[in-house]
Amino acid sequence: MRLLHTSRLILETPTDGQPYAILSHRWLADHKELSFQDLQRTQVPPKEGPHGFKKFQGARDRASLDGLDYIWIDTCCIDKTSSAELSEAINSMYAWYRDSAVCYVYLHDVGTEEDPQSGFEDTDWFQRGWTLQELIAPDNVYFFNKNWIMIGSKASFASTLSEITHIRQDVLLGNPYVPSIAEKMSWAAGRKTQKIEDRAYSLMGLFGIHMPIIYGEGEKAFRRLQLEIMKSSDDQTIFAWHDSLDYPNPVRNRGLLASAP
């Protein structure tokens, strides 16, 4: 796991369990995000896009302010040109968020001068597939608006978050509770991912599953996920689903396994 040093702005691989912050955010277009390749340069160039750089800079500054020497940002801490590294990262991502000292959620579409919290309930962050595990896995989650003003935490927003995401407050607050497979799947229903395979890959950590990453396999990824879940659980609620018109399919699913959450 590579981490960005918040003062030296270089990627390092600490071996002594250094505490780190981690960023959760809504990806912009790839060309607007700071990449792994960008960080190989001597300096981080602001020309990579005003939003991507502002987000990067704000996350780094916040981690430094919180006394943390390291931060993990998915856009630039993974070499996505390496399929092996990308596969390892996707299989490890839930654990990386879980083990972080703090998770900063940056909401690029929230906040006005009059109301820093304006638009929170409608932010696009709640509609994305990958952000589900990024909400659940870390203990300490703090929300920031587009100007990097802190507007609340997972603990302080627990009631509102539960209403928006339909996730029980006990789950959000880390209280003892074991949700069924069907309940976990319901949290992901309707969330969007850029790639169809990521519907499955973004849920692996939530179910404690590890499997090969094969972009190009399409809906087979979600079927593979369900088969892996069945190997480790006898929870029959995995079959409690109905096919949704949100994911058009020329041949409607009539098997035991769902084609989407």
Predicted confidence (pLDDT) per residue in 53-64, tens digit: 888 999 999 999
- Kindly indicate the confidence band of residue 249, based on its pLDDT and cuts at 50, 70 and 90: low
Specify the pLDDT at position 167. Answer: 97
- With pLDDT > 90 as the criterion, what percentage of the chain qualifies? 74
Q: What is the pLDDT of residues 21-66, one digit of tens each?
A: 999 999 876 567 888 887 777 555 554 454 678 889 999 999 999 9
Q: What is the pLDDT of residues 94-118, one digit of tens each?
A: 999 999 999 999 999 999 999 999 9
User: Which residues does 249 contact at the CB level (< 8 Å), separation at least 6?
Assistant: 219, 243, 259
Using DSSP bridges, classify how beta strands 11-12 and 70-72 pair: parallel, antiparallel or unpaired.
unpaired
Q: Is 83 exposed, middle or buried (0-12, 13-18, 19+ CB in 10 A)?
A: exposed
- Fill in the DSSP letter of residue 192: B
107: left (phi over 0), alpha (psi -120 to 50) or beta: beta
CA 19 – CA 9 distance, rounded (Å)? 16
